[in-house]
Each structure stands twice: as C-alpha cells, then as structure tokens.
Chain A
C-alpha cells in the first residue's frame, strides 16, 4: 500500500525553485532522498509538511490529502529535522509530557520500552544527548504516537561511523514489521548503500531519478581511458567527465555502453554516480 505520494510539488523562491517534485513510497520500505547541499531536499520535506507554502502540488499520506487532513496526516508522520534540537535545556520527560498530549494514539508503555531500547534517560536534558541519541529520542516520540511514516532530514549528519551504522540498523529493524516506512534525506551515499530500498535523487530542485536502489546503480557505469579516446561521439554520452594527467574518467548510462569501445568500464557506486552527475 502506498504510504506517501508527492505529486508536482512546486515552490518558487527568488533564486531557487522546486520544480514538479513527484515521488511515492510504499509501506515497509526505506527511501533515501539524495542530493547535494542546496539541491532542495529540506525545502521538499518542509513543503510536504506545509512548513513552507508550496506554490502547487499534492501530498498524500495513507490516501489522505495532507492539505485537507493535516491533523490526521501529522498523527501518522514522525518528522525530524536533524535531531531534536528544540528546548535543549528541558528534560526529556518535560518535552514528552507536552508532546504526548497532542496525540490521541500515544502509547506510554511503548514509549517506556523505546526509552529502554535506545538507552535514553528521561531525566536528561536534550543538550546532554549526543547527536545520535537525539535522533533516537525523536524516533521514540514518533513511534510512541504510532507514526507509520518517518520523515527524517539528514538524521545521520554529524554522527560518527559507529553511531551512523547503529542508526541505519535501527531503521532496518523498524521497517521489518511491514507497517513503518522511512523517508530520509542525506548526502552521505554510504548510508543509502547500507539501508535504502529506493532512491529519489534531487538536483537543482528537480527530481532526476526515483527508482529502486539496484536499478539506479545499474543505470550507470564508470568509464575511464586516455584523453585521446574522447571523440565528440563519446563525449556526448559521458556524464561529468574529469580529465587528469593519466586520462579521463566519467559516468555513462548503461544503455549507451554498446556505443563505446576501447575504454575501461567498471561498476559505479552511489558516490561516484552522485559526484559525476553533480559535475555536469
């Protein structure tokens, strides 16, 4: 079942615009929302949550239009920008006591078990938590009000590799029940390699790919060879060419491979794909 659908989301700023952003996510999957800094990831997420006003577009959560059923949709979403960074001097229990009042489906037992599972002490202040623990606290809040869709903006930014891995494993655990889904933005491609089922790629406010991770990676190959091989025909097929003293390297679409010969071809990973696409 489709848990999230974004259709033709547009938001115009003076020097930047989201252009017809569309993608969807089914229940029980993790989608990585990828793009470089300033590509429009946070603007998209905020527009979806109507924290900024989109000029047009529709967001549907579990079949309900967000603009018309905002209350219902917000019950079903756990939205986290980074980690919890509001009221840093307040204790977790104070924030929780305020937050839970707004959610009729709040489950205290579940909350306590999540605190134990994440090793969170409700007597601690927010600013006493590490970046990773703050994300976990926000997940505990979201899951305790029975959020089915977790929308996380760069949850792994600033985390050490161990904490990042821990969090990514947690994401995978969370979706195992088939009910929860996660959309998380990141520019850290290794996060996506580890746990994303689907990739939505945004560049300059436009979605340039929305597909499952393996298909996305299989769409491209890395090529390299001597600069002399760079004839106009080949150059027109290459993406993000980088020349160096030993030759060139670039990305090429897998479907264009039969048209090139005599150059070295290797599998691409997400980081290489992103770097070359952004170099274009």
Chain B
C-alpha cells in the first residue's frame, strides 16, 4: 500500500491539488460562503481522475503486481489525505478570519466547530457519489462529477438554510461564541465519524465496481 500511495502522489496527483489545498486562505475573505473553498478540493479530486484517464493510469496501475482492490484503496486513501490536510490547513485561517472580521460572516455560517463538522459531511457525500460511480466505468468522469457536485451543492444549501432561517438552530450554529462552539463539538465528532464510515463504504463500493470492469 505504501508503494501505491507513493505512486498516487508521485504520478497521479494533479498539481492543482496542492494549489487548492491553500484555499483554506479563503476563510479570510469577509462575508464569503466558507464551504466554497472546500469545493475546490473536490474539483482537484476530479482533476486527478481526469488526468489519470488521459494518462492511462488505470492500465499502468493494474499492470503492476497488485490487487485491483488495492489500486482503489490507494486512490481513496490519497483522497482522504487531501481532504484531511485541507481541513487542517483551513483551521488556523478560520481562527484568523474570525479575529480580523469581528462582525461575523453575513454570507453564511460562521467558521466555527460545527462548520468543520459539516465540511466532513460534505466531503463524505461527494466521495460516496463520485468515486464509486467513476469506478463503474473508469472512463466516464463528467457524469460522476456532476452528480457528486449536485450532491455536495444540495447538502451545502441544506446546512446553509439552517443559519438563514431564524430559529434556535440558527442561534446555535451561526456563532463564534467560544462557549457555544464547545457545545458544537458533537457535530464535529459526528461529522468525522460519518466521514470515516462513509469512506469505508465508498472504498468497498468502488472496489466492488472496479472488480467488474474490463480494462
């Protein structure tokens, strides 16, 4: 697996991935929907698959002495690493953004603990739609990305609606009050658990789809 991961980062990772990792910086933009920066990493995942197809990555990979399922596992692990790194990079910018924009974010949820919980959930939704659908054919990429993007977008609208409509939920979610942010920790933990569980399901479903594909 170590060798396959090396291959993923050495050959398959698209250069924009590293650029988009820095888009945690977007959390410094005043009154800007914070989830947008995270969608760029979904876009870079799409680029990895797109350039992989053009570079005949799948043929190269399965010609190596490996199991087909391990090729999928390595790709899923690479995606998980990218997503985690982007979140880790974004966290300090969330703090900085909140301190330099004390008026708060008028364009959406505040970048707080719940926000990151929702980001984990958004990644889960994108992963489970996009990745297994790609491995059904290994050449159709546009449709899986479209569906993945729509799923991501729908969840985005849903969680933003929670802070648009005045309610106790809005009060609870749309704040950077440290005391309330502590109470938001369960949302973050649930987000992480969902992300991890969905990652396993995504890998298993994608690997099973890939097993059936003739290359």
Which A residues form the contact surface with B (CB < 8 A)? Answer: 46, 49, 51-53, 70-71, 74-75, 79, 81, 85-90, 94-95, 97-99, 101-103
Contacts and interface: CB of A to CB of B under 8 A. Distances in A.
29 contacts: A46-B214, A51-B59, A51-B62, A51-B63, A51-B214, A51-B215, A53-B214, A71-B65, A71-B66, A74-B64, A74-B65, A75-B65, A79-B63, A86-B55, A86-B57, A86-B59, A86-B60, A87-B55, A87-B56, A88-B55, A89-B55, A94-B10, A94-B11, A98-B7, A98-B10, A99-B64, A101-B6, A102-B64, A103-B65
Contacts of B57: 86-87
B65 A102 contact: yes
A70 B64 CA distance: 10
A90 B56 CA distance: 12
A280 B44 CA distance: 53
B65 A98 contact: no
Given A85-B56, A86-B55, A87-B60, A52 B215 contact: yes
Interface in B161-193: none
B11 A98 contact: yes
B20 to A, nearest CB: 20
Contacts of A51: 59, 62-63, 214-215
A49 B66 CA distance: 12
A81 B64 contact: no
A71 B68 CA distance: 11
A82 to B, nearest CB: 10
A70 B59 contact: no
Nearest to A126: B55
Interface string B196-215: 00000000000000001011
A153 B211 CA distance: 23
Nearest to B12: A87
Contacts, number: 54
Nearest to A145: B65
A71 B70 CA distance: 12
Contacts of B212: 53
Contacts of B3: 98, 101-102
A103 B65 CA distance: 8
Nearest to A90: B11
A49 B57 CA distance: 17
Contacts of A46: 214-215
B140 interface: no
B8 to A, nearest CB: 10
A74 B6 CA distance: 20
A264 B66 CA distance: 57
B59 A81 contact: yes
A89 B12 CA distance: 12
Given A102-B3, A102-B65, 10 more contacts: A51-B59, A51-B63, A70-B65, A74-B64, A86-B57, A86-B60, A97-B10, A98-B7, A98-B10, A101-B6
A197 to B, nearest CB: 26
B26 to A, nearest CB: 30
Contacts of B60: 86-87
Nearest to A78: B63
Interface string B59-98: 1101111110000000000000000000000000000000
Interface string B18-46: 00000000000000000000000000000
A102 B63 CA distance: 11
A158 B57 CA distance: 23
A101 B6 CA distance: 9
A42 to B, nearest CB: 11
B182 to A, nearest CB: 46
Nearest to A71: B65
Nearest to A88: B55
B64 A86 contact: no
Contact of B66 (A86, A95, A102): A102
A102 B61 CA distance: 10
Nearest to A13: B214
Give the most central of B60, B63, B66: most A CB within 10 Å.
B63
A53 B57 CA distance: 19
A226 B7 CA distance: 65
Nearest to B8: A98
B6 A98 contact: yes
A90 B60 CA distance: 13
Contacts of A87: 11, 55-57, 60
A11 to B, nearest CB: 9
Contacts of B7: 98, 101
